[in-house]
């Protein structure tokens, strides 16, 4: 049965190149045999690569759309000639050529397409010849609960975090100040070594001798024990922007956990939660409230004081106003997040009907017979 490359990648026939690439990366992360785990599947990985190599190429994709996977030359891969940064991935291409029966026509296996994927698995995507890349610290996410007023108008807020930070004594390097630092003999300063797995494939991995730092120290830092990182309690001031809503997050770049061996810090994400308010209901950038008026006010009309987050305002109730009528008070809602303007205040009228009437009141209503 002919293979459906679009189904293999899980995309539509009209998928763009960017959509194809995203689908390919996602499936490669899932099925790659060296990743391990229950989702690893060498056969699936071969199918995914075969499908992507055809569909990403305009000419081959046109041929495939016309003739299907049986078009001339669809049976094998051709290793990318002279591809920069290929390293030992040429062996990986050979594996696929053999797996496809040795055909060398039609497909071009571009090792650059998988370089980024393997980099995610094995320490940053750099071959040992390209130098050390220090691991980035992890991101941190915290929750902050605000009142509706604070979410509407914004506020300054201080967070107290317990997190990994670079050791001040050694500046995150892990070496005692003044001690000798030398190049790691195992990885020769790259921070990575090539590890050979099945099929004779070589993959870069973090050097276990230096922990990816690419260097060795004679004396470890006394404060952090050579880790370059210490647990600290830190106060971080953040500005809550006016108009932020439930579930939205504020990103503070490089305020997350510190990276190993002086690596860059991750980011801090502050997730906002807004407490319910007994008076106002937020509806996007509008606020809504229920205003009670008497039967007489609704029938004859009146001016009533309406509460807003900015203070009280006068609202005109026209005569004959019906229960459930909604009036709009302009610019008394929520400020547009990171933009100009505000929403409105929506006032829904609720007519108060007295539960008890005097004889005189009853007589008056009976005489009105409305």
pLDDT tens digits for range 48-99: 888 888 898 888 888 888 776 655 433 433 333 333 333 344 444 444 444 4
Q: Are 229 and 260 in contact (CB under 8 A)?
A: yes
Q: Among residues of the chain, what percentage have pLDDT more than 70?
A: 76
pLDDT on residue 295 = 87
Tell me how far apart the alpha carbons of residues 163 and 267 are, in angstroms, rounded to a whole number.
12
Taking the whole predicted model, whether its pTM rises above 0.75 is answered as no
- φ, ψ of residue 2 to 5 degrees: the values are -65, 145
Residue 255, both tokens: 């305020």
Between 334 and 194, where is the model more confident? 334
State the span(s) of the chain assigned CATH 1.10.287.110.
Answer: 5-121
State the span(s) of the chain assigned CATH 2.10.230.10.
Answer: 140-274
Q: What is the dihedral of CA 121, 122, 126, 130, to 10 degrees?
A: 180
Local confidence band at 364 (pLDDT 50, 70, 90 cut-offs): confident
Local confidence band at 129 (pLDDT 50, 70, 90 cut-offs): very low
Inform me whether the pLDDT recorded for 125 exceeds 70.
Answer: no
Q: Does domain 281-368 have CATH number 2.60.260.20?
A: yes
Per-chain mean pLDDT for the chain = 79
CA angle in degrees (0–180, nearest 5) for 260-261-266: 40
Inform me whether the pLDDT recorded for 191 exceeds 60.
Answer: yes
State the span(s) of the chain assigned CATH 2.60.260.20.
Answer: 281-368
As assigned by CATH, the class of the 140-274 domain is: mainly beta
Q: Tell me which residue of 191, 160, 139, 151 sits closest to 282, measured CA to CA.
A: 151
Name the packing angle between helices 89-99 and 42-55 (round to 10°).
100
CATH of domain 5-121: 1.10.287.110
Q: Are 268 and 252 in contact (CB under 8 A)?
A: yes
Task: Return the SS3 of 307.
Answer: strand
> Which regions of 213-357 does DSSP assign to beta strands (E)?
215-217, 229-240, 249-252, 268-274, 281-283, 286-294, 302-308, 311-317, 326-329, 345-352
């Amino acid at each position: 049965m002919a293979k459906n490359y679009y189904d293999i990648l899980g995309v539509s026939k009209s998928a763009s190149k960017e959509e194809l690439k995203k689908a390919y990366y996602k499936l490669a992360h899932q099925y790659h045999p060296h990743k391990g785990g229950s989702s690893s599947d060498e056969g699936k990985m071969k199918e995914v690569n075969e499908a992507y190599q055809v569909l990403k190429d305009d000419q081959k994709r046109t041929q495939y759309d016309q003739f299907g996977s049986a078009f001339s030359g669809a049976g094998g891969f051709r290793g990318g000639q002279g591809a920069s940064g290929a390293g030992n991935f040429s062996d990986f291409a050979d594996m696929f050529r053999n797996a496809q029966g040795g055909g060398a026509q039609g497909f071009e296996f571009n090792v650059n397409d998988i370089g980024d994927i393997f980099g995610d698995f094995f320490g940053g995507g750099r071959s040992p010849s390209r130098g050390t890349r220090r691991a980035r610290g992890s991101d941190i996410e915290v929750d902050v609960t605000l009142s509706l007023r604070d979410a509407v108008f914004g506020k300054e807020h201080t967070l107290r975090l317990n997190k990994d930070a670079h050791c001040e004594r050694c500046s995150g390097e892990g070496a005692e100040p003044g001690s000798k630092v030398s190049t790691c003999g195992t990885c020769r300063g790259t921070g990575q070594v090539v590890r050979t797995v099945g099929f004779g494939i070589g993959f870069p991995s973090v050097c276990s001798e230096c922990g990816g730092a690419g260097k060795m120290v004679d004396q470890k830092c006394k404060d952090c024990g050579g880790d370059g990182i210490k647990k600290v309690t830190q106060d971080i001031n953040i500005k809550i922007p006016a108009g932020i809503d439930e579930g939205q997050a504020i990103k503070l770049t490089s305020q997350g956990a510190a990276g190993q061996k002086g690596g860059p810090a991750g980011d801090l994400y502050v997730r906002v939660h807004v407490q319910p308010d007994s008076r106002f209901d937020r509806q996007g950038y509008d606020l809504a409230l229920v205003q009670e008026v008497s039967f007489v006010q609704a029938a004859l009309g009146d001016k009533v004081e309406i509460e807003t987050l900015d203070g009280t305002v006068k609202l005109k109730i026209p005569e004959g106003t019906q229960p459930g009528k909604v009036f709009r008070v302009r610019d008394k809602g929520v400020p547009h997040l990171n933009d100009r303007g505000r929403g409105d205040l929506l006032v829904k009228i609720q007519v108060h009907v007295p539960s008890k009437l005097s004889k005189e009141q009853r007589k008056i209503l009976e005489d009105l017979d409305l």
